[in-house]
């Protein structure tokens, strides 16, 4: 009789240990995935800040650069595309294709902004405008924030993906539908220095 209580106690102890281990692993994956989602929201927030600065920047430049309508229109169009893409990205469904499309849209907006800044060089009065200088400083700070948030996102993805692939977590992750998250990658041609013409 005493022997059967020891066996039952051992089985109960084993079940508790296995349950606790599975629970801890699952909760760790959930926490890590939520961290990735939070970092993604931070990335979107940084890009949204840049998008919000653009109407003021365009308005300021418009008064000085009346003959640069094509550049201003391109910036406005790229802003609209970026805003639409930013809204449509669900962090829970983030995959490599979605991230690539998001990045492509944001890179196009960044390129348009760069062209606008080159155009500004032709207008010394605009470069001296206090409002423009403040907007330019805010835009530069926002670009730095974007880089920081992208790096933070990639770090959280690396932690999540590493835990997802390690044994025995990978078995549990497969059972509950956790999947690998994509990284932000450098834009194609980023290794080449940009060509600036005035």
- The predicted-structure confidence for 65-91, as pLDDT tens digits, reads as follows 666 777 788 888 888 888 877 767 777
93: DSSP letter: G
Top-confidence residue, 185 or 152: 152
pLDDT at 189 over 70: no
Top-confidence residue, 59 or 88: 59
pLDDT digits (tens, 9 = 90+) for 80-125: 888 877 767 777 778 888 888 889 999 988 888 888 888 777 777 7
> How large is the angle between the packed helices 130-165 and 169-176, nearest 10 degrees?
110
> How large is the angle between the packed helices 69-87 and 2-64, nearest 10 degrees?
160
> How large is the angle between the packed helices 130-165 and 96-120, nearest 10 degrees?
160
pLDDT digits (tens, 9 = 90+) for 19-50: 888 898 999 999 999 999 999 999 999 999 99
pLDDT digits (tens, 9 = 90+) for 136-178: 889 899 999 999 999 999 999 999 999 999 988 898 898 899 9
The pLDDT value recorded for residue 78 is: 86
Q: 3-state SS of the chain: helix, strand, coil percent to 5?
A: 80, 0, 20
90: DSSP letter: -
Radius of gyration of the chain from its Cα atoms, rounded to whole angstroms: 25
Where on the phi/psi map is residue 46: left (φ > 0), alpha (ψ -120 to 50), or beta? alpha
pLDDT at 198 over 60: no
pLDDT, mean of residues 176-186: 87
The pLDDT value recorded for residue 89 is: 79
Cα separation values, 44 from 48, 57, 66, 111, 177, Å: 6, 20, 32, 18, 25
The pLDDT value recorded for residue 144 is: 93
């Amino acid at each position: 009789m005493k022997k059967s209580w020891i066996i039952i106690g051992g089985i109960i102890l084993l079940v508790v240990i296995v349950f606790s281990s599975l629970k801890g692993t699952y909760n760790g994956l959930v926490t890590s995935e939520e961290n990735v989602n939070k970092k993604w929201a931070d990335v979107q927030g940084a890009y949204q800040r840049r998008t919000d600065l653009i109407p003021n920047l365009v308005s300021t430049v418009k008064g000085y650069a009346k003959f640069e309508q094509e550049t201003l229109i391109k910036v406005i169009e790229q802003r609209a595309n970026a805003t639409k893409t930013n809204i449509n990205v669900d962090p829970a469904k983030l995959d490599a294709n979605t991230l690539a499309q998001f990045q492509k849209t944001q890179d196009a907006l960044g390129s348009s902004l760069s062209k606008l800044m080159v155009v500004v060089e032709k207008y010394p009065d605009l470069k001296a405008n206090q409002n423009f200088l403040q907007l330019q400083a805010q835009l530069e700070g926002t670009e730095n924030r974007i880089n920081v948030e992208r790096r933070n996102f990639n770090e959280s993805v690396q932690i999540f993906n590493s835990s997802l692939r390690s044994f025995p977590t990978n078995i549990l992750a497969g059972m509950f539908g956790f999947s690998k998250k994509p990284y932000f990658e450098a834009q194609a041609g980023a290794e080449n220095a940009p060509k600036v013409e005035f």
